[in-house]
Amino acid sequence: MLIASIWMEKKLNFKKGGIRMSQLKLSAGLVIGLTALAALPVSAGTNTINVEPVEVVTGVAKAQLMVGVESWSGDNTYQIGNPVHWFDGTVDQGYFPFSELAFPLDIAMVTAQANVEFYDTWMFMGSVKKNVTDPDDQMIDKDWITDANPSQLDVYSNSNITDFDGYEFDFSVKYKFLQGENWSLDGGAGYLYQNWQYEASVVRQYSPSGLDGFDYLGDGRPAIRYTLEYNIPYFQVGGKVKLGNKVSLLSRLSYSPWVDAENVDQHMLRYKVNKGDLDGYSWMFKVEGQYDFSEHWFMTASYDYKQMKVDGTMRAEFANFYEYIYGVVPNHTVWEEIESVQHAMAITVGYHF
């Protein structure tokens, strides 16, 4: 076919509109010939190679990186009370609580977060937070020790936080089960870990009810060290709404019935260590607004609320020298309840990949 086209070009060699008809026929012949050749299989020995089209897939994954700061408020509060199980097997049944300690959470945290989304359906998130300031608020310790009047506050003390360390890890996976042009709904699961460590020194202790022997001024020495850990696997539901080309609103609600908590309270001036092992539940809520400056850069502002409630037993372990005072080491267990209320306001800057 290619040779025939060239022969025809030599026979019919004239111009039309400034373009040689022979050139048009030659080009047409080349195209037809090459097309015919391309459609044939290429043989090499006994092997045949078929040319297949290559499918290019785009938009499979999207990612974000975010860094920011958070302003926290709230507290970690634990209470202990009856029943008390003593070392000799006796049990005291009475009121609850007879002691309460509230540790503040007025701190600033730095945050880093990564988000990855696959096929506009599966979403993975990981974040880490670390404190950059210590609490300014004081730790408050209250005791109710009058059996005849359990509501009477008998001992009150306030302590300065002299050392503090806190951090949080959060990981989750979500699936979009409903989505429209400008909105989506998702659900999934995650895991949250928190670790809070306090050291405090007493400013003043006294008796609001007027009992003798409880007035005490601190001398600056650390009086208490407290550590609280939370392990929280959770379920979550959430959604996203686009309010134009640049503004989006996101929210999520999380719940966990499997909160595990461990805490250690060292009363350093009394040579006493309390260790608690507790479980319970948690509610968490977050709302976030996002503004896209450009195709890649964006900023978010958010409010995050968390509440944990757990209970269990706390074991009080005294130093052995108490045997010389009381004749025995008065170890015992008490009932314990912890409630943590956490508020966080955050500003972050992020980058779309």
pLDDT tens for each residue of 45-70: 444 444 444 343 445 889 999 999 99
Please tell me whether residues 282 and 345 are part of one structural domain: yes
Number of structural domains the chain divides into: 2
Please tell me whether residues 287 and 324 are part of one structural domain: yes
DSSP-derived 3-state class of residue 331? coil
DSSP-derived 3-state class of residue 71? strand
CA atoms within 13 A on the CB side of 304: 15
Looking at the chain, the whole-number percentage of residues with pLDDT higher than 70 is: 83
The pTM (predicted TM-score) of the whole model is 0.81
Write the pLDDT tens digit of every residue in 297-313: 999 999 999 999 999 99
pLDDT at 327 (0 to 100):
81
Please tell me whether residues 126 and 37 are part of one structural domain: no
The two three-digit tokens of residue 206, written as one number: 């006294």
pLDDT at 102 (0 to 100):
98
pLDDT at 341 (0 to 100):
98
Query: Is 51 part of any domain?
Result: no
Q: Cα(175)–Cα(237) distance, rounded to whole angstroms?
A: 9
Q: What is the mean pLDDT of residues 101-117?
A: 98
Q: What is the mean pLDDT of residues 6-31?
A: 39
Please tell me whether residues 11 and 119 are part of one structural domain: no
Write the pLDDT tens digit of every residue in 127-154: 999 999 999 999 999 999 999 999 999 9
pLDDT at 292 (0 to 100):
96
Q: Cα(66)–Cα(112) distance, rounded to whole angstroms?
A: 6
Strands (DSSP E) found in the chain: 15-16, 19-20, 42-44, 47-49, 61-86, 91-92, 99-104, 108-118, 122-131, 139-143, 155-179, 183-206, 216-217, 224-242, 247-267, 272-292, 297-318, 332-352
Cβ-contact 221, 205 below 8 angstroms: no
pLDDT at 6 (0 to 100):
38
Query: Is 95 part of any domain?
Result: yes
Query: Is 53 part of any domain?
Result: no
Please tell me whether residues 239 and 348 are part of one structural domain: yes
pLDDT at 60 (0 to 100):
82
Indicate whether 15 pLDDT > 70.
no
Q: Give strand pairing partners of 99.
A: 80, 143
CA atoms within 13 A on the CB side of 336: 24
Please tell me whether residues 78 and 18 are part of one structural domain: no
Please tell me whether residues 132 and 8 are part of one structural domain: no
Cβ-contact 190, 170 below 8 angstroms: yes
Cβ-contact 310, 338 below 8 angstroms: yes
- Backbone φ and ψ for 151, nearest 5 degrees, come out as -85, -5
Per the structure, the complete domain to which residue 121 belongs is given by 61-352
Q: Cα(55)–Cα(155) distance, rounded to whole angstroms?
A: 76
DSSP-derived 3-state class of residue 96? coil
The residue count for the chain: 353
What CATH number does residue 330 fall under?
2.40.128.90
Q: What is the mean pLDDT of residues 316-333?
A: 86
pLDDT at 59 (0 to 100):
59
Please tell me whether residues 100 and 243 are part of one structural domain: yes
Query: Is 316 part of any domain?
Result: yes
Please tell me whether residues 34 and 82 are part of one structural domain: no
Please tell me whether residues 39 and 188 are part of one structural domain: no
Q: Report the b/e string of 240-263 with b at 16+ CB within 10 A.
A: bebeeeeebebbbebebeebbbeb
Give the pLDDT band of residue 323 (cuts 50, 70, 90).
confident
Write the pLDDT tens digit of every residue in 274-301: 999 999 999 999 999 999 999 999 999 9
Query: Is 152 part of any domain?
Result: yes
pLDDT at 27 (0 to 100):
40
DSSP-derived 3-state class of residue 2? helix
Q: What is the mean pLDDT of residues 314-322?
A: 90
Query: Is 54 part of any domain?
Result: no
Please tell me whether residues 28 and 170 are part of one structural domain: no
Looking at the chain, the whole-number percentage of residues with pLDDT higher than 90 is: 76
Cβ-contact 208, 229 below 8 angstroms: no
pLDDT at 321 (0 to 100):
78
pLDDT at 229 (0 to 100):
98
Task: Quickly list DSSP for 236-266.
Answer: EEEEEEE-SSSEEEEEEEEEEEEEEEEEEEE
Alpha helices, DSSP H, located in the chain: 2-11, 21-39, 322-326
Query: Is 52 part of any domain?
Result: no
Please tell me whether residues 27 and 67 are part of one structural domain: no
Strands 297-318 and 272-292: antiparallel
Residue bearing tokens 């968390």: 306
For residue 38, count CB atoms less than 10 angstroms from its CB and return exposed for 0-12, middle for 13-18, buried for 19 or more.
exposed
Indicate whether 43 pLDDT > 50.
no
Name the CA dihedral angle for 326, 327, 329, 332, rounded to a multiple of 10 degrees: -70
Q: What is the mean pLDDT of residues 252-260?
A: 98
Of 325 and 316, more confident: 316
Query: Is 300 part of any domain?
Result: yes
pLDDT at 93 (0 to 100):
94
* CA dihedral (211, 213, 219, 220) positive or negative: negative
